Structure 1
Amino acid sequence: MVERKGDGRVDALLAGAFVADEVAALRPDYRVLLVAVEGLVPGGQDDTSTTLLARAEDAARRALADCPVERLPHVAAWREAYRGFGAKPQRTRNSLEALLRRASSGLPQVNPLTDIYNAISVLHRLPLGGEDLDRYQGPPRLLRATGVEAFDTVAGGVEVVEHPEPGEVVWCDGAGVTCRRWNWRQARRTRLQEGTTTALFVIDALDPVTDDGMHTAADELVDHLARLGPRVRSSRRLVAARGVGHEEG
């Protein structure tokens, strides 16, 4: 995998990403590593994704053998963060906890892109989301919702537009919410598709996760994604709730 700064629009999207002050006030320890991956070939296959999922399932079973999922340090930190903006973690589970709870019966197999990032999320115990960057309108922004933002999703098999609760932590672009409740549910509009060629991966972290731990997860992620096209390349940017961000290239 060639790792460098993205060109043009991708570069601008990463540079313009930010974490709003009200989120920083809620969790000063929050950091996000944004990883943009270009050159993916639609329908590209990764013969190792099934093996990677099995490895993640085994790691989850071992982690949970003597410890309930809600007591794992990384999961407990996210439960506390959810309570901070009024969400009930028993009913609204962050993406990491949701995957860990499914591991005993088998992680979902969707497509190589999704399977890879789900496995990396479980292996490194970090919430990790994947988005189709070509469907973005403007840079990603993490903020607390006013309650009027649009979130397009599917409910009961029907496409609907919902709205987040006021104060809810949400990822947005210029067209609306791309992910509700920090890392709970992604919008239909920007989700990864079979034809995705440019993807954005969002790696969330709270203490006790370190920046090095985030980069290690990103390194493994991009190593596996390199198999999904002959000219796959990536760029990344670390943004902290304290307002400090830098590019990695």
Structure 2
Amino acid sequence: MRFHLAPAVAEKGLIGAYSLLKDFDISRADPAAVTAYVDKAVARARGALAKIPVSDDPVLRGFHQLHLDFSVPTRKLHSAPETLLRYLEKRGDIPRIGPFVDLYNAVSIETRLALGAHDLDHVEGDVSLRLTDGTEHFHPIGAPEPEAVRPGEYAYVDDAGDVICRLEVRQVEKTKVTAGTKSAFLIVQGNARTSPEFVRQGHDRLLSVLSGFFGGTVEPLYRP
């Protein structure tokens, strides 16, 4: 697959790095080692939140501004890293879903970047980060039915017209990572307040963590 970034999205300051991680094996990871890695990331993030709360974090505020620039209702739709960190502030931990998701969430709470992973076997054709026109299909993870798509937002959309991630907020049932996932399309997204170098560093860190635990080969798609 290829990745396409629409100029109408990029000109608002959205910045990201994207890759494929292929032929990995989630079962090869030691569960205790995964838990230990995530526990340490959570402890570091708690320490960081004691100094800079979610409401004052410059990267998270950058996502708020990005949403405002696209007329997204910011009170209801928070970026994925903000949702994780608010959960952490309230409960002292992040949700534990599975080794692959837990590890990229751990990287997300430390970098404040929006990270995502999509089962490549269920992505149809290429992926475009573009403005929505309202005709796309969108079935969020955990939702019983598809939901309507607002025109004028940005979304990651495959060639079948399916949204695989709305903004950097909601991923979908179609491409969710499971224990049987072998290859994934990886998203590392920032905003106008994150430099290209910072996004590249977050991207490379994610790839290092995931490949270190699960193996696989990397196929770069796009770097800022």
TM-score by length of 1: 0.81
Structure 1: how far apart are the matches of 2:44 and 2:74? Answer: 23
- Counterpart for residue 132 of structure 1: 119
Q: CA deviation at 1:215?
A: 2.5
> Quick one: which amino acid aligns to residue 80 of structure 1?
Q
Q: Secondary structure at the match of 1:192?
A: coil
Deviation for aligned residue 1:208: 2.9
Q: Is the 8 A contact 1:31 1:205 kept in 2?
A: yes
Q: Distance in 2 between matches of 1:73 and 1:59?
A: 18
Runs (4 or more) in structure 1 with deviation over 4 Å come to: none
Q: Which residue of 2 aligns with 1:153?
A: 140
**How far did residue 154 of structure 1 move?**
5.5
Moved more, 44-53 or 182-191: 44-53
Superposition pairs of residues 6-21 of structure 1, within 5 angstroms:
13=1, 16-21=2-7
Aligned with 1:150: secondary structure? coil
Q: Alignment partner for residue 193 of structure 1, among 178, 190, 206?
A: 178
SS at match of 2:109: helix
Match of 2:128 in 1: 141
Change (3 A) 1:200 1:88: same
Aligned partner of 2:88 among 103, 108, 121: 103
- Measured in 1, the distance between the counterparts of 2:196 and 2:36 equals 27
Equivalent residues of 2:141, 2:170 under 8 A apart:
no
Q: Which residue of 2 aligns with 1:247?
A: none
Shift of residue 116, structure 1, vs aligned partner: 0.8
The answer for the alignment partner of 2:197 in structure 1 is 212
Which of 53, 69, 74 is equivalent to 2:54?
A: 69
Q: Of 169, 176, 180, which aligns to 1:184?
A: 169
Alignment match, 2:25: 41
Partner deviation per Cα, 1:37-86 (whole Å, 9 max, x = no partner): 11212533244221222222222222221433122010000001111122
Deviations 1:124-148 (A, max 9, x none): 1111011111111111111111111
Partner Cα distance (2:108, 2:98) in 1: 15
Q: Aligned residue for 2:9?
A: 23
Given candidates 212, 218, 223, the residue that maps to 1:234 is 218
SS of equivalent to 2:116? strand
Q: Which residue of 2 aligns with 1:244?
A: none
1:120 Cα deviation after fit = 0.6
Partner of 1:112: 99
Unpaired runs of at least 5, structure 2:
none
Query: In the aligned structure 2, how far is the partner of 1:42 from the partner of 1:237?
Result: 22
What amino acid does structure 1 have at the position aligned with 2:24?
L
Superposed CA RMSD in Å reads: 1.9
Cα deviation, residue 205, structure 1: 1.5
Partner deviation per Cα, 1:145-185 (whole Å, 9 max, x = no partner): 11111012356x62x122211111111001211111x1100
Percent of residue pairs identical: 25
The partner residue of 2:187 within 185, 188, 202 is: 202
Residue 204 of structure 1: CA displacement?
0.4
CA distance in 1, matches of 2:106, 2:213: 16
Higher strand share: 1
- After superposition, the Cα gap between the structure-2 partners of 1:93 and 1:53, relative to the gap in structure 1 and judged at 3 Å, is same
Q: Are the equivalent residues in 2 in contact too, given 1:39–1:232 (CA < 8 A)?
A: yes
